[in-house]
C-alpha cells in the first residue's frame, strides 16, 4: 500500500489518539458513575439492613414469627427493597416479596455465609424467585461470634441501570463536542508541522539510501535552508566516521580472530567490552554473546577475577600467572593486563591478554622429573661399578674369591644399566612411532597374544614359585599390534610375579562388553597404597624404591604399558589395596562395535 502524506499521518494519528482518549474517558466516566451509583445503593441497603436488624432484634429473640413476617412485609413496602429474614440454618423465616416457606434454603448463598462469619455479606447474582439480577447486602443478627440469624436487603440492578441510562446521552454528546473541537485543533497543527517536515522527509530519504556524500539543496524559508545545510554537514561527518569505524573494526576483528591468546576487555563496572574467540575457548565460555554482561556471570574463576580487578585498580601494566583447577586438570595462564584509556587519558576499563602455558609447564615438569630420575637411576649402577672397580684396582684382584664376587656385582650392575637403557630406547621408539608412524593393527585372537606373554614370563614364575592362570575365550578377538600388546602384558605379568608371595597366584583374564575389550592382570601380593596410584604410570616412579631395584625393575615398565595402550586407542588403569593385591586393566576398543 502506498504511503500516505505526512500531513495525513499526523492528522490521522492525532484524530485516532483523540477518539481513543475520549472513548476511554467516556468509558471511565460511565463506569465511575455506575460504580458510584452501585456503591451508594450498597450503602443504602446496608443502612436499611442495620435499621431493620435493630427493629426486629427483640421480636426475633422472642421467636414471634407472625409479628416478624408482618414487620418485614411493611418495611419492604416502605423502603422499596426486598427484605429477607433468614435463620442460622439457612431457612427463610420471612420475605417481603415472596412467601418465605416456599423459598429454598439459603445456606449456600454467599452473602448469607459472609454474614454468618460476622461480616457484612455482599453479592450480585441472579434471583430465580424474581427472575432478575439482584444486589444483596446481608447483616448478622445476634452475637458476632455466633449469629442466630441474618437479615438481608436487596434491590434489582435494573433499578439503578435505568437511572444511569438517563445520564448517558449527556455524557456522550459532551464527549463528541470535545472530540470535534480537538480534531479541528489537530488539523491546524498538523498542517503547520507537515509542510517543513515534507522537505526534511525528502532529504532524509536521500541519506537513507546511503548517499551521504551527496549535497542537498532546498529552497524555502531560512530555517529550512539552514536545516538543509546542517543535514549536509552531518551527512559528511557521519560518512567519515562510518568509514573510520568500519576500517578499525575490520582491523581489530582480523587481529583478534587470528590470535591464539585470549583477549578480555572490561569497563570500570567489570562489564565485558570484548572477548575474542580464543578467550571464549580458554575460559570455557558457553555464552555466544557475552558483550555487556558482568564478567562474574561469564567467568567463574576467582583467581582470574582477582587479576582483572587488580588490573583495573593499577595505573601501570601488570603481569602474573594464574592456576585454574578445572576438575582434575590444572591449567596455567600467563596473564598480561593494562588499563584502557580514552582520548583524554582517563581510564575507562582494562585489557587482559591470557595465554595457556599449561603444556609448557607440564613439559618443564616432565623434563625436570625425567632428567632427575634418569640421573638417579643411572647413578646407582654407575657408582656401584666404579666403586668395585676401584676396589679391584686397589688390590682385590690379588684375592681371587673376593675379586670374582666383585666382578659378579659389577656384571649385575652392568646388566641393570643395560636394562635401563634398553627400556629407555624401547619407550622412545614407542613414543616416536606413536607420533610419526601409523601403527598397524590387525584383528587377532587374544589367546595367542596372551599365551605368548605367559611363555615369556614362565621362567620367572617358576623361579618365584608363582602359578599363572589364563582365562580367555578362544574366539575373543581385538584389533591389536601383537608384538606391542605382548610387551605390555608381559610387563604387567612380570610385575605381578615380582610382587606376589611364594606359591602365589597371578590371574590373566580377557573379556569383552559392548564398548571395549578388557585384559586384566590380577595378583594377590603386597598391593599399592592409594596415594601412589595417580602416578604409578609415570617414568621411573617407584612405590618402594629399594625393593623395586632389588627385584631388578627399571621403573619404566608401566610407562611402556600406558603408551602401548594409547597406541591401541585404549587406556590402562589399576585398582589396588595394600596387603590384598592389585588388578591392572588394559581397555581396548571393541572391534565389533
DSSP assignment of 205-239 equals HHHHTT-TTS-----SSHHHHHHHHHHHHHHHHHH
Alpha carbon 292 to chain centroid, angstroms: 18
pLDDT in tens, 453-509: 888 888 888 888 999 999 999 888 888 888 888 888 888 998 888 888 888 999 999
In terms of domains, do 452 and 577 share one?
yes
- pLDDT confidence bin for 193, thresholds 50/70/90: low
**CATH value at residue 407:** 1.10.287.130
pTM of the model: 0.40
Helix (H) or strand (E) holding 440: none
Residue 469, classed as helix, strand or coil, is: strand
Q: Which residue has the higher pLDDT, 401 or 542?
A: 401
In terms of domains, do 549 and 566 share one?
yes
Q: What are phi and psi of 225, to 5 degrees?
A: -65, -45
**CATH value at residue 318:** 3.30.450.20
Has residue 234 been placed in a domain?
no
Rounded-to-integer distance, Cα 519 and Cα 416, Å = 29
User: Mean pLDDT over residues 37-52, rounded?
Assistant: 82
pLDDT in tens, 66-77: 888 888 888 888
Q: Which residues have C-beta within 8 Å of that of residue 129, sequence separation ≥ 6?
A: 98, 103
Please state, rounded to an integer, the average pLDDT across all residues of the chain.
Answer: 77
In the chain, how many domains are there?
Answer: 4
Has residue 37 been placed in a domain?
yes
- From the list 571, 535, 543, 548, the residue with the least C-alpha distance to 420 is 548
Has residue 279 been placed in a domain?
yes
User: Mean pLDDT over residues 395-402, rounded?
Assistant: 70
Rounded-to-integer distance, Cα 20 and Cα 183, Å = 12
In terms of domains, do 459 and 489 share one?
yes
Rounded-to-integer distance, Cα 93 and Cα 110, Å = 18
pLDDT value of residue 6: 60
In terms of domains, do 396 and 490 share one?
no
Least confident of 129-138, 306-315, 551-560, 582-591: 551-560
Is it the case that residue 177 has pLDDT exceeding 80? no
Last residue of a domain, one of 436, 458, 492: 436
Is it the case that residue 397 has pLDDT exceeding 70? no
pLDDT value of residue 573: 92
Is it the case that residue 521 has pLDDT exceeding 90? yes
Residue 424, classed as helix, strand or coil, is: helix
Last residue of a domain, one of 393, 412, 436: 436
High-pLDDT (> 70) share of the chain, %: 77
Q: Which residue has the higher pLDDT, 433 or 26?
A: 26
Q: Which residue has the higher pLDDT, 105 or 101?
A: 105
Has residue 201 been placed in a domain?
no
Q: Which residue has the higher pLDDT, 311 or 8?
A: 311
pLDDT value of residue 200: 67
In terms of domains, do 298 and 382 share one?
no
User: Mean pLDDT over residues 560-585, rounded?
Assistant: 87
- pLDDT confidence bin for 192, thresholds 50/70/90: low
In 10 A of CB 171, how many CB atoms?
Answer: 16
In terms of domains, do 432 and 522 share one?
no
In terms of domains, do 47 and 161 share one?
yes
- pLDDT confidence bin for 439, thresholds 50/70/90: low
Least confident of 102-106, 170-174, 466-470: 170-174
In terms of domains, do 35 and 154 share one?
yes
Has residue 191 been placed in a domain?
no
Q: Which domain holds residue 557?
A: 442-589
- pLDDT confidence bin for 547, thresholds 50/70/90: very low
In terms of domains, do 161 and 269 share one?
no
In terms of domains, do 463 and 571 share one?
yes
Last residue of a domain, one of 329, 354, 379: 354
Has residue 245 been placed in a domain?
no
In terms of domains, do 370 and 323 share one?
no
Is it the case that residue 222 has pLDDT exceeding 70? no
In terms of domains, do 74 and 108 share one?
yes
- pLDDT confidence bin for 1, thresholds 50/70/90: very low
The long-range contacts involving 341-348, CB below 8 angstroms and separated by at least 24 positions, are 347/268, 347/315, 348/267, 348/268
Has residue 521 been placed in a domain?
yes
Has residue 223 been placed in a domain?
no
User: Mean pLDDT over residues 520-529, rounded?
Assistant: 90
User: Mean pLDDT over residues 373-395, rounded?
Assistant: 68
High-pLDDT (> 90) share of the chain, %: 5
Q: Which residue has the higher pLDDT, 566 or 210?
A: 566
Rounded-to-integer distance, Cα 237 and Cα 243, Å = 10
**CATH value at residue 499:** 3.30.565.10
Q: Which residue has the higher pLDDT, 53 or 281?
A: 53
C-alpha triplet 502, 508, 513: angle, nearest 5°: 155
In 10 A of CB 15, how many CB atoms?
Answer: 16
Least confident of 74-78, 448-452, 474-478, 554-558: 554-558
Q: Which residue has the higher pLDDT, 403 or 245?
A: 245
Q: Which residue has the higher pLDDT, 532 or 522?
A: 522
Amino acid at each position: 500500500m502506498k504511503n500516505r502524506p505526512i500531513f495525513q499521518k499526523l492528522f490521522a494519528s492525532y484524530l485516532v489518539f483523540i477518539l481513543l482518549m475520549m472513548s476511554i474517558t467516556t468509558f471511565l466516566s460511565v463506569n465511575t458513575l455506575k460504580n458510584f451509583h452501585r456503591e451508594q445503593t450498597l450503602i443504602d441497603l446496608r443502612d436499611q439492613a442495620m435499621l431493620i436488624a435493630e427493629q426486629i432484634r427483640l421480636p426475633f429473640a422472642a421467636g414471634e414469627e407472625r409479628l416478624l413476617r408482618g414487620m418485614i412485609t411493611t418495611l419492604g413496602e416502605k423502603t422499596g427493597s426486598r427484605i429477607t429474614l433468614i435463620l442460622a440454618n439457612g431457612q427463610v423465616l420471612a420475605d417481603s416479596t415472596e412467601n418465605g416457606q416456599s423459598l429454598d434454603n439459603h445456606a449456600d448463598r454467599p452473602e448469607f455465609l459472609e454474614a454468618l462469619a460476622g461480616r457484612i455479606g455482599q453479592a450480585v447474582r441472579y434471583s430465580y424467585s424474581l427472575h432478575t439480577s439482584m444486589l444483596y447486602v446481608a447483616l448478622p443478627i445476634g452475637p458476632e461470634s455466633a449469629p442466630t440469624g441474618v437479615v438481608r436487603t436487596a434491590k434489582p440492578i435494573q433499578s439503578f441501570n435505568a437511572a444511569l441510562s438517563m445520564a448517558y446521552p449527556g455524557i456522550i454528546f459532551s464527549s463528541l463536542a470535545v472530540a470535534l473541537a480537538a480534531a479541528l485543533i489537530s488539523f491546524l497543527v498538523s498542517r503547520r508541522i507537515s509542510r517543513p517536515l515534507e522537505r526534511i522527509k525528502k532529504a532524509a530519504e536521500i541519506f537513507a539510501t546511503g548517499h551521504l556524500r551527496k549535497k542537498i539543496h532546498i529552497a524555502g524559508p531560512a530555517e529550512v535552508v539552514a536545516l538543509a545545510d546542517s543535514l549536509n554537514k552531518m551527512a559528511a561527518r557521519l560518512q567519515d566516521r562510518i568509514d573510520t569505524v568500519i576500517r578499525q573494526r575490520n582491523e581489530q576483528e582480523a587481529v583478534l580472530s587470528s590470535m591464539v591468546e585470549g583477549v578480555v576487555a572490561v569497563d570500570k563496572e567489570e562489564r565485558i567490552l570484548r572477548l575474542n574467540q580464543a578467550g571464549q575457548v580458554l575460559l570455557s565460555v558457553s555464552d555466544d554473546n557475552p558483550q555487556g554482561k558482568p564478567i562474574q556471570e561469564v567467568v567463574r574463576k576467582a583467581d582470574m577475577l582477582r587479576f582483572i580487578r587488580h588490573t583495573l585498580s593499577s595505573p601501570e601494566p601488570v603481569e602474573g600467572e594464574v592456576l585454574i583447577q578445572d576438575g582434575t586438570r590444572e591449567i596455567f595462564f600467563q596473564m598480561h593486563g593494562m588499563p584502557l584509556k580514552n582520548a583524554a587519558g582517563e581510564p575507562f576499563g582494562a585489557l587482559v591478554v591470557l595465554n595457556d602455558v599449561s603444556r609448557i609447564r607440564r613439559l618443564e615438569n616432565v623434563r625436570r622429573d625425567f632428567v632427575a630420575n634418569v640421573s638417579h637411576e643411572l647413578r646407582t649402577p654407575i657408582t656401584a661399578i666404579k666403586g668395585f672397580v676401584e676396589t679391584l684396582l686397589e688390590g682385590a684382584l690379588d684375592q681371587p674369591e673376593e675379586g670374582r664376587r666383585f666382578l659378579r656385582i659389577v656384571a649385575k650392575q652392568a646388566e641393570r644399566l643395560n636394562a635401563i637403557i634398553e627400556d629407555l630406547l624401547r619407550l622412545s621408539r614407542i613414543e616416536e612411532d606413536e607420533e610419526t608412524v601409523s601403527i598397524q593393527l590387525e584383528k587377532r585372537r587374544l589367546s595367542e597374544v596372551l599365551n605368548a606373554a605367559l611363555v615369556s614370563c614362565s621362567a620367572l614364575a617358576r623361579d618365584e614359585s608363582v602359578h599363572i592362570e589364563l582365562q580367555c575365550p578362544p574366539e575373543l578377538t581385538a584389533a591389536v599390534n601383537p608384538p606391542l600388546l605382548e610387551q605390555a602384558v608381559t610387563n604387567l605379568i612380570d610385575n605381578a610375579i615380582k610382587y606376589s608371595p611364594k606359591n602365589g597366584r597371578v590371574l590373566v583374564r580377557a573379556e569383552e562388553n559392548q564398548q571395549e575389550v578388557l585384559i586384566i592382570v590380577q595378583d594377590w601380593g603386597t598391593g599399592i597404597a592409594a596415594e601412589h596410584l595417580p602416578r604409578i604410570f609415570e617414568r621411573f616412579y617407584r612405590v618402594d624404591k629399594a625393593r623395586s631395584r632389588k627385584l631388578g625393575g627399571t621403573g619404566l615398565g608401566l610407562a611402556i604399558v600406558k603408551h602401548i595402550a594409547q597406541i591401541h586407542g585404549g587406556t590402562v588403569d589399576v585398582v589396588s589395596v595394600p596387603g590384598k593385591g592389585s588388578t591392572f586393566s588394559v581397555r581396548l576398543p571393541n572391534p565389533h562395535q
